[in-house]
A = this chain, B = another copy of it.
Amino acid sequence: MSIEGKTEFTKPVYTRPRSLVDVKTHFCPGCHHGTIHKIVAECIDRYGVRENSIGVACVGCAVFLYDYIDVDVVEAPHGRAPAVATGVKRAQPDKFVFTYQGDGDLAAIGTSEVIHAANRGENLTVVFVNNTTYGMTGGQMAPTTLLGQKTSTTPYGRDFRSDGYPIKMAELLAGLDGTAYSARVAVSTPAQIRKAKAAVRKAFEMQINGMGFSIVEFLSTCPTNWGMKPLDAQGRVLGEMSEYFPLGVYKERKQADFA
């Protein structure tokens, strides 16, 4: 493969995805939100759905989705993206509709909306970013915060006696009949990034093929609120986080119910 002596390299191997707007993001250094945005943009490009997409932004660090992904975007109130997306998709069944939501957004305040969207088998795709905290509001406990983890509202560490257990959304949603695809991925190593892309592609395909609800849960970092360097934060994902939240595909529908 290696061409000895080549000094000019003109073939682009990696360039900014077309659907990723060419601006600086507000994300903190090393925050995986950026990586996940990139992956979403790449998949939009891959399936050529950019001009046919409507994204639904959540409230959380990903609220500026509309500034970063070059598609039509509607802002949903905190936690309500799946309901808003339902309203969009029912009105425009031919469009590609996705939400992008944090773990506070999806697994706390928006629990009901995501469960019922999944249960109805709404034909849309959810990108779910689990960073075990409320990034945007300054690092409070999320439903996904690990036991013992210190956050600004669990200053002594999360204790299941008072704060309950970290909730596993990929598994929970996989248990619903309307869910076509549910997987948990991470982006802390190059290999994980590859797998994550594959999962998002599957999720996109589910929607494109009318199979119903699809969700990809990302284990993500929040270096800022974890009080860690980005590399250490990745280490945490690779360690205790994926121990508690196992990566994998929890449901994959092979055929549409009505096929």
CB pair B120 A163 closer than 8 Å: yes
Considering only CB atoms, which chain B residue lies closest to A210 in the complex? Answer: B161
Judge if A175 is at the interface, Cβ distance under 8 Å.
Answer: yes
User: Which chain B residues lie closer than 8 Å to A108 at the CB level?
Assistant: 116
Question: How would residues 240 to 259 of chain A score, 1 for a CB under 8 Å from any chain B CB and 0 otherwise?
Answer: 00000000000000000110
When the two chains form the complex, which single residue of B111, B120, B171, B176 contacts A116, counting CB atoms closer than 8 Å? Answer: B111
Considering only CB atoms, which chain B residue lies closest to A161 in the complex? Answer: B258
The CA-CA distance from A25 to B70 in the complex, in Å, is: 60
The CA-CA distance from A112 to B163 in the complex, in Å, is: 15
* Interface of A toward B, CB cutoff 8 Å: 108-109, 111-112, 115-116, 119-121, 143, 160-161, 163-165, 167, 171-172, 175-178, 257-258
12 contacts between A and B (CB under 8 A): A111-B111, A111-B116, A119-B143, A119-B167, A121-B160, A160-B178, A160-B258, A161-B258, A165-B176, A165-B177, A171-B175, A172-B175
